[in-house]
């Protein structure tokens, strides 16, 4: 048995809403990662097994290629490329379930449509500081993935037997990716009880690992080499590493969405590096990723300097100044940030 994490009254309210509706839209954050897709598609398969007539997953933009094998991924609606269809779903559905994000700004242009939609709203998430936009808010930041929360919600609704193999594969994918294949945020014993249950439902965890982590393009591997060989700057006195990539540098590698995934983690394998930052030039902004180890926070700097946030060990933000200015801003803040937050 696993302990009860989600509050009883939240389960009861979510359950009664889910029971009474027939059409449900599931939405998740921009640039969906393994947990965003895993929790959304996991819930989709469960709701279909429950007999719901209309269930759709709507995302702000498409998930990267390494997640397209996931059962149900082919039917996911992308707001970026299927705006009309997405808006139709959001304005007609009876319930919108928001997964793996804490504020509507995390779903971009879609946020306004969700806010305006007459549907009931349920939020299930593991990011700090959930915004108050839903009828039921289930926010558990100490749980390492939203996919785990989806499993817990289904079980607590009394529907473990409705978790089919497709649902289990999606939930496992999210649990695996949000913990770096169980290498961080993964010290809670019950994670493995849940994994064991999912395996009993027939998932092939080794195959899921290969599909997610061993399907990189040659270009992406070369980009990784370039980052480590040419672009990794170390600040040993602050146990910090920085990788920066401009659009011009990405061009020869035929950069695809998802290609940067995981690159920020690499410097953490260096002895004595506890904080790793990546800055990547996008169309209209610089996207920042922060990773840390142990108690050193990644999310405070992301929030204080770059309007972002996230978890203790994995956070992100954005910058609307030039790359040079962004680097300068970071380097100027680093010494005092390190002093304030270094482990005693």
Please give the residue ranges that form the binding site for ligand 5GP (CB under 6 A).
33, 127, 289, 308-311, 314-318
Q: Among positive and negative, which fits the CA dihedral 214, 217, 222, 228?
A: negative
Chosen from ligand 5GP, Mn ion, none, partner binding at 281 (C-beta under 5 to 8 Å by type): none
The stretch near Mn ion (CB under 5 A) out of 23-31, 99-107, 236-244, 285-293 is 99-107
Instruction: Please tell me whether residue 148 binds Mn ion under the rule CB under 5 A.
Output: no
Closest CB to ligand 5GP belongs to which residue? 316
For ligand 5GP, the closer CB: 97 or 301: 301
211-222 CB burial, b ≥16 within 10 A, e <16: bbbeebeeebee
Chosen from Mn ion, ligand 5GP, none, partner binding at 259 (C-beta under 5 to 8 Å by type): none
Chosen from ligand 5GP, Mn ion, none, partner binding at 313 (C-beta under 5 to 8 Å by type): none
When binding is defined by CB under 5 A, the residue of 59, 67, 96, 100 that contacts Mn ion is 100
For ligand 5GP, the closer CB: 47 or 174: 174
Percentages helix, strand, coil for the chain, rounded to the nearest 5?
A: 45, 20, 35
Residues 6+ apart with CB under 8 A from 273: 234, 239, 240, 241, 267
Chosen from Mn ion, ligand 5GP, none, partner binding at 124 (C-beta under 5 to 8 Å by type): none
Chosen from ligand 5GP, Mn ion, none, partner binding at 314 (C-beta under 5 to 8 Å by type): ligand 5GP
Task: Read off φ and ψ for residue 5, nearest 5 degrees.
Answer: -100, -55
When binding is defined by CB under 5 A, the residue of 10, 35, 148, 259 that contacts Mn ion is 35
Distance separating alpha carbons of residues 57 and 29, to the nearest angstrom: 11
Instruction: Please tell me whether residue 178 binds Mn ion under the rule CB under 5 A.
Output: yes
Chosen from ligand 5GP, Mn ion, none, partner binding at 114 (C-beta under 5 to 8 Å by type): none
CB-based burial label for 83 (10 Å; 0-12, 13-18, 19+): middle
Q: Which of 213, 128, 155 is nearest to 179 (CA)?
A: 213
**Structure letter (DSSP) for residue 272:** T
- Contact yes or no for 263/224 (Cβ under 8 A): yes
For ligand 5GP, the closer CB: 73 or 141: 141
Residues 6+ apart with CB under 8 A from 241: 232, 233, 234, 235, 267, 268, 270, 273, 275, 276, 277
Chosen from Mn ion, ligand 5GP, none, partner binding at 267 (C-beta under 5 to 8 Å by type): none
Minimum CB distance to ligand 5GP, residue 127 (Å): 5
For ligand 5GP, the closer CB: 274 or 289: 289
| 3-class secondary-structure state, position 161 | helix
Instruction: Please tell me whether residue 169 binds Mn ion under the rule CB under 5 A.
Output: no
For ligand 5GP, the closer CB: 159 or 285: 285
Task: Read off φ and ψ for residue 60, nearest 5 degrees.
Answer: -65, -40
Minimum CB distance to ligand 5GP, residue 222 (Å): 21
For Mn ion, the closer CB: 178 or 281: 178
Distance separating alpha carbons of residues 206 and 201, to the nearest angstrom: 15
Minimum CB distance to Mn ion, residue 38 (Å): 9
Which parts of this chain interact with Mn ion (CB under 5 A)?
35, 100, 146, 178
């Amino acid at each position: 048995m696993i302990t009860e994490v989600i509050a009883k009254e939240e389960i009861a309210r979510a359950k009664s809403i889910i029971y009474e509706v027939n059409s449900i839209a599931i939405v998740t954050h921009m640039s969906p990662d393994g947990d965003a897709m895993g929790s959304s598609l996991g819930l989709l398969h469960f709701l279909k097994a429950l007999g719901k007539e209309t269930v759709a997953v709507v995302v702000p933009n498409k998930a990267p290629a390494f997640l397209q094998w996931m059962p149900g991924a082919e039917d996911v609606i992308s707001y970026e490329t299927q705006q009309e269809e997405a808006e139709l779903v959001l304005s007609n559905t009876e319930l919108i379930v928001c997964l793996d994000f804490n504020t509507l700004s995390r779903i971009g242009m879609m946020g306004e449509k969700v806010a305006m939609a007459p549907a009931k709203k349920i939020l299930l998430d593991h990011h700090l500081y959930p915004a108050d936009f839903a009828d039921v808010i289930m926010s558990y930041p100490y749980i390492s993935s939203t996919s785990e929360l989806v499993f817990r919600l289904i079980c607590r609704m009394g529907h473990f037997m409705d978790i089919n193999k497709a649902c289990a594969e999606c939930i496992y994918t999210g649990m695996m990716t949000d913990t770096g294949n169980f290498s961080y945020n993964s010290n809670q014993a019950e994670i493995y009880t849940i994994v064991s249950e999912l395996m009993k439902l027939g998932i092939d965890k080794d195959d899921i690992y290969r599909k997610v982590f061993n399907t990189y393009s040659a270009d992406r591997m070369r980009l990784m080499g370039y980052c480590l060989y040419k672009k990794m700057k170390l600040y040993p006195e602050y146990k910090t590493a920085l990788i920066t990539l401009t659009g011009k540098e990405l061009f020869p590698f035929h950069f695809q969405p998802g290609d940067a995934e995981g690159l920020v983690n690499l410097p953490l394998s260096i002895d004595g590096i506890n904080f790793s930052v990546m800055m990547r030039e996008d169309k209209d902004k610089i996207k920042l990723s922060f990773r840390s180890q142990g108690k050193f926070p990644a999310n405070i700097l992301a929030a204080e300097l770059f309007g972002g946030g996230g978890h203790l060990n994995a956070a992100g933000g954005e910058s609307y100044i030039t790359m040079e200015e962004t680097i300068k801003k970071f380097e100027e803040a680093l010494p005092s940030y390190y002093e304030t937050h270094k482990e005693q």
